[in-house]
Amino acid sequence: MNEYRNRWIEDVARALRLEAEERGIEPPEAEIVPATPPKTELGDLAFPMFPFAKTFGMSPALIAEAVVSRLGRSDAGEAHAAGPYVNVRYPRAQVASSVLSACICSDRAYGRNERLAGERVMIEYSSPNTNKPLHLGHLRNDALGESVSRILAACGAQVRSVNLINDRGIHICKSMLAYQEFADGDTPERRGVKGDAFVGDYYVRYEQWAREDPGVEERAREMLRKWEAADEEVVALWRTMNDWVLEGHAATYEATGIRFDALYFESETYTSGKAEVLRGIEEGVFTRQADGSVWVDLSPINLDRKILLRGDGTSVYVTQDIGTVIARYRDWPFDRMIYVVASEQNYHFRVLFHVLGLLGYEWAGQLHHLSYGMVNLPDGRMKSREGTVVDADDLIAELRELAVTEIRAKDREEAVGDVAATAHAVAIGALHYYLLQVTPAKDMIFNPKESLSFTGNTGPYLQYMCARINSMLRKADEQGVAPQESAVQTDRLDTEVEWELVRLIARYPQVVEQAGADYSPAAIAGFLYDLAKTFSGYYHDHPILTAPEPSLRDARLGLARAILVVLRNGLELLNIPYLAIM
RNA sequence: GCGCCCGUAGCUCAGCUGGAUAGAGCGUCGGACUUCGAAUCCGCAGGUCGCAGGUUCGAAUCCUGCCGGGCGUACCA
Closest nucleotide C1' to the C-alpha of A514 = B16
What's phi and psi for A439, nearest 5 deg?
-50, 130
Q: What is the DSSP string of A194-213?
A: -HHHHHHHHHHHHHHHHHH-
CA of A201 to C1' of B28 (A): 44
Chain A window 423-442, residues with Cβ within 7 A of nucleic strand B: 426, 437-439, 441-442
What's phi and psi for A370, nearest 5 deg?
-85, 95
Residue-level pLDDT at A486: 67
Please list the alpha-helical segments (H only) found in A52-163.
53-56, 60-71, 92-106, 136-154
Separation of alpha carbons A311 and A126, rounded Å: 32
Element (H, E) at A16: helix A2-22
Separation of alpha carbons A509 and A570, rounded Å: 10
CA distances (Å), A391 to each of A134, A384, A398, A429, in order? 6, 10, 11, 18
What's phi and psi for A356, nearest 5 deg?
-65, -35
CA of A456 to C1' of B39 (A): 9
3-state helix, strand, coil in chain A (%, to 5): 60, 10, 30
Closest nucleotide C1' to the C-alpha of A560 = B36
Closest nucleotide C1' to the C-alpha of A42 = B20
Chain A window 215-254, residues with Cβ within 7 A of nucleic strand B: none
Closest nucleotide C1' to the C-alpha of A440 = B5
Chain A window 383-412, residues with Cβ within 7 A of nucleic strand B: 403, 406-407, 410, 412
CA of A167 to C1' of B55 (A): 53
For residues A101 and A88, is the Cβ–Cβ distance under 8 A?
Answer: no
Q: How many CB atoms lie within 10 A of CB A208?
A: 10
Q: Using the CB atom, is residue A523 less than 7 Å from strand B?
A: yes
- The amino acid that residue A496 corresponds to is E
Residue-level pLDDT at A218: 92
Q: How many CB atoms lie within 10 A of CB A444?
A: 17
Closest nucleotide C1' to the C-alpha of A457 = B25
Query: A84-100: buried (b, 16+ CB within 10 Å) or exposed (e) per residue?
Result: bbbbbbbebbebbbebb
Q: Using the CB atom, is residue A461 less than 7 Å from strand B?
A: yes
Closest nucleotide C1' to the C-alpha of A343 = B71
Could you tell me how far CA A239 lies from the centroid of its own chain?
Answer: 33
CA of A537 to C1' of B43 (A): 14
**Residue whose CA lies closest to nucleotide B76 C1':** A317
Q: How many CB atoms lie within 10 A of CB A486?
A: 7
CA of A520 to C1' of B17 (A): 14
Q: Using the CB atom, is residue A484 less than 7 Å from strand B?
A: no
For residues A376 and A135, is the Cβ–Cβ distance under 8 A?
Answer: no
Complex-level ipTM: 0.96
CB-based burial label for A312 (10 Å; 0-12, 13-18, 19+): exposed
CA of A503 to C1' of B29 (A): 35
Show the CA angle centred on residue A535, arms to residues A532 and A539, nearest 5°. 140
CA distances (Å), A567 to each of A363, A395, A415, A481, A516, in order? 37, 26, 22, 23, 17
Closest nucleotide C1' to the C-alpha of A85 = B20
Question: Can you name the residues that pair with A445 across neighbouring β-strands?
Answer: A376
Dihedral sign for Cα atoms in the order A171, A172, A173, A174 = positive
Q: Could you tell me where the beta strands, DSSP code E, fall in A158-280?
A: 158-165, 262-265
CA dihedral (A521, A525, A530, A532) in degrees, to 10, reads: 140
Closest nucleotide C1' to the C-alpha of A461 = B39
User: Please, what are the domains in chain A?
Assistant: 2-90 (3.30.1360.70)
CA of A533 to C1' of B30 (A): 22
Q: Using the CB atom, is residue A288 less than 7 Å from strand B?
A: no
Chain A window 25-44, residues with Cβ within 7 A of nucleic strand B: 30, 33, 35-39, 42-43
Separation of alpha carbons A133 and A140, rounded Å: 14
CA of A389 to C1' of B70 (A): 18
CA of A274 to C1' of B23 (A): 53
* Positions on chain B within 7 A of a protein C-beta: 2-7, 11-17, 19-21, 23-27, 35-42, 57-58, 70-77
CA distances (Å), A126 to each of A151, A162, A295, A409, in order? 17, 9, 29, 36
- Please choose, from the candidates A218, A140, A211, A139, the residue with its C-alpha nearest in 3D space to the C-alpha of residue A177: A218
**Residue whose CA lies closest to nucleotide B32 C1':** A540
- The amino acid that residue A371 corresponds to is S
For residues A165 and A265, is the Cβ–Cβ distance under 8 A?
Answer: yes
Residue-level pLDDT at A388: 84
Q: Parallel, antiparallel, or unpaired: how do β-strands A294-297 and A45-48 relate?
A: unpaired
Closest nucleotide C1' to the C-alpha of A342 = B71
Give the contacts of A302 (CB within 8 A, at least 6 positions apart).
none
Helix (H, G, I), strand (E, B) or coil at A557: helix
Go through chain A and tell me how many residues it has: 582
Q: What is the DSSP string of A378-427?
A: TTB---TTTT---BHHHHHHHHHHHHHHHHHHTT-HHHHS-HHHHHHHHH
Task: Return averaged pLDDT per consecutive 10 residues of chain A, 582 residues in all.
Answer: 88 92 83 88 93 90 94 86 94 94 95 96 96 94 97 98 94 95 95 96 92 91 93 96 97 98 92 91 92 91 89 89 93 96 94 95 94 89 83 95 94 95 97 96 90 93 97 93 79 94 96 95 97 96 93 95 97 98 96
Separation of alpha carbons A488 and A490, rounded Å: 6
Q: Using the CB atom, is residue A127 less than 7 Å from strand B?
A: no
Separation of alpha carbons A353 and A322, rounded Å: 9
Q: Parallel, antiparallel, or unpaired: how do β-strands A120-124 and A336-342 relate?
A: parallel
Q: Using the CB atom, is residue A422 less than 7 Å from strand B?
A: yes
CA of A51 to C1' of B57 (A): 7
**Residue whose CA lies closest to nucleotide B77 C1':** A317
